[in-house]
Structure 1
Amino acid sequence: MPETPSDASPRHVFTPSSLNRLARDLIEDALGSIWIEGELSNVARPASGHLYFTLKDSAAQVRCAMFKPRSTWLPFRPVDGMHVLVRARASVYEARGEFQVVAEHMELAGEGALRREYEALKARLEAAGLFDPARKRPLPARPQRIGVITSPSGAAVRDVLHVLARRFPLVDVEILPVPVQGREAPPAIVAMLRAASAAARHDVLLLARGGGSLEDLWAFNDEGVAHAIAASAIPVVSAIGHETDFTIADFVADLRAATPSAAAERLVPDRDELARHLAGHLAWLGSRMKRRLEASSQRLDHLHARLQAQRPSARLARGARQLDEVQARLLRAIEAASRRVRVRLDGSGARMRAAHPRKRLDEATRRGTLARRALEQATLLGLDRRRRHLAELARTLHAVSPLATLSRGYAILLEPETRRVVRGIGEVRAAGRVTALLGDGEIALRTDTD
């Protein structure tokens, strides 16, 4: 007999949407963020800007979606047949109940592997101290001979030679040919670095190559090349690729230049600047020589004057002048002594006249008169000061006097017999009398306490 809902056992019933949500949550929690490598197919980019594609291998395929804005950040244009590496999260498209992968990042599979190898080598060499700035050596200010380790047929060597010839044609440039791409490039670069270091013929080595992809520049991400640069007895400048390209050789080298042309600019001075510097030195040298000649000429004139001064006639003339000067000083001394004696005599006479008794009596009389006048003036000033002080005290006393208050219209109540001041109603007797003291007299008042 078929089972009816009324007698069925308890169960959990899903709707399609709830089941899809449950499946989505289970898949996302179980897998999280994953990496998937495969071949692109059915690539579509509708007007919405989202990217839809299928990732497949020889046995299976999976539908994928990459939504904006991540789909617009890709550094390349995905097309069918491209081998890629995708970081994504697995999920369920609830509207159709289909398993799908939501991509968050995409890169070319080969380049991605190289990039991971590059980062691992970089971390290992940095930990070993090959990137330490303390081990980098300064470059010579004016190198005499430069060794350029590069391909003799590449564009990089032409750029380097052109810049060096333009800036400093006196420098000796030697091309040390090596392959800069392919499997044979790393061992050839290592061998050339070791040979140049052992020969010690160059002041600086320039390791150069033009731009290219990560695979094209891979020879300069070789661990052997890095150790050869670090072990070189000659400073090494790295100029690999374009300005945005960084290789392991750039980090190990004593100096990294953005491009080969920029490296050539850094290695040698500018001949125009040297010419200006030399012109400045020549001008300074000419000025110094001119000053030396002028000083020598002045010294020669001084010596000539001294020689002329040593002649007998000059010495006799000088003695005559000295005798005249001594006689003149003697006459001036006699005159000065005579003046001093006359001054002393005049002073003694003045002192004697000043010490006469009549003079002293007149002076004492004058001082007595002045003292009397000063005493009289001081007495008058003292009396005036005391009068003003007394008036000020009178004004102050009048200001606090009760009479001053009464003159402004107030009255003071007194008991008639005792003349005590009445200070409250309670002190006024029933049907009694009080005296009102006013400013100009008294008034007898009768009180009514009712």
Structure 2
Amino acid sequence: MTIILPSAQRKIYTVTQLNRETSLLLGEHFLAILVEGEISNLSTPASGHIYFSLKDANAQIRCAMFKNMRRRFGFRPENGKQVIVKAQVSLYEPRGDYQLIVEQIEEAGDGALRRAFDALKLKLSMEGLFDAANKLSLPTLPNTIGVITSPTGAAIRDILTVLRRRFAAVPVIVYPVAVQGDNARHEIARAIDTANKQALCDVLILSRGGGSLEDLWAFNEEIVARAIFASDIPIITGVGHETDFTIADFVADLRAPTPSAAAEHAVPDQQTWLTQFVYLESRLHQLLQRKLNQSRQSLDWLLKRLQQQHPGQKLTRNMQRMDELESRLHQAMHVRLRQHAQLLEAKTAKLWQHIPSVAINSHKQRQRYLSERLNSAIRHRLEQLNQRLLNAGQTLNAVSPLATLNRGYSITSHLPSGKIITSTEQLKAGDIVQTRLAQGQITSQIKTIE
């Protein structure tokens, strides 16, 4: 059964009214919304406005962006680009088309992230966070290495494998952090700060495996960049693959293309060090051997000098000198005595030539006088010579072997020749020697010679 209401009780819309009220209703309910989708059917008429469709896998909607809004953004729309638009929901009344009036447009996904990356990179570069003068030097051989990464990822396994292979003796401290997600940036920054406060490590490795720009975004956060810059411990980054660059790489003291490469830079190759140690050991041995040879030559020279200055050599020379002086003394005495004897004979002969008794008596007195003078001169000369001999004897006694004997030394001579023995080369087994001591002497037969 069909009921038709009277005209007065029914509200009948015209198409224009319906579209207008629908447009108002949509505009009031969706005042400013964000919609993500892919651009298609892009049209850019001479008016400067832009018309396109925004679609996803299951639906699409028409969009319009007017010229005055377009001038405010440098983004250039293209078919196939994934974008995010800020728009009002509207209805194009003449055709009844449901559409979006776009106020803002930006690339979605990597595009937006790339712009944020470039903006932060420029900002931090202007502040000097990338300057080489601010970068710390890496230790040649760290005492301890800190690794800031996910404890379950492939990066930590690669890093530990390389560190064990290159220098297994260096201990490693792992600071586990999330390397992806909203909280990753805070965990990474806290781990860097914790490592600096503990001061247990000489170098830090900040790392994770490869991924998209969005996956690596935690390493492009400003809080992480500033934590790296504030670190007093040098930091090596190994984030993603060789072609991946993050803000953390620019701030770090050294950027490695991969986690494994970061581990390579953190420690030296133990085989290279071992080779260097072997070389240094060989050089040290050579230098020590050369020094020993030089010292041995110097010792031989000093021994020769010592032998030349030995008291025995000086005693021998003094004894020879004493014998020489004694011989000269005897010669001088004999010469003087002969001279006086000859003089006496000459005067005696002359006396006999003058026989008168007065002359004889006078000559006798003269003779007695001269004889007394002669005797006095001889005695005086003998006293002088005796005093010289006494002095020479005292001097000789000071350097005499006998004095040396009193200090525990002895003098050994060969029998029957009496030659003083100064070397074993003068002896052979069976020889008889006589050894003079401070008190007495002993006679020995040589049994063995060393």
The TM-score normalised by the length of structure 2 is 0.49
The TM-score normalised by the length of structure 1 is 0.49
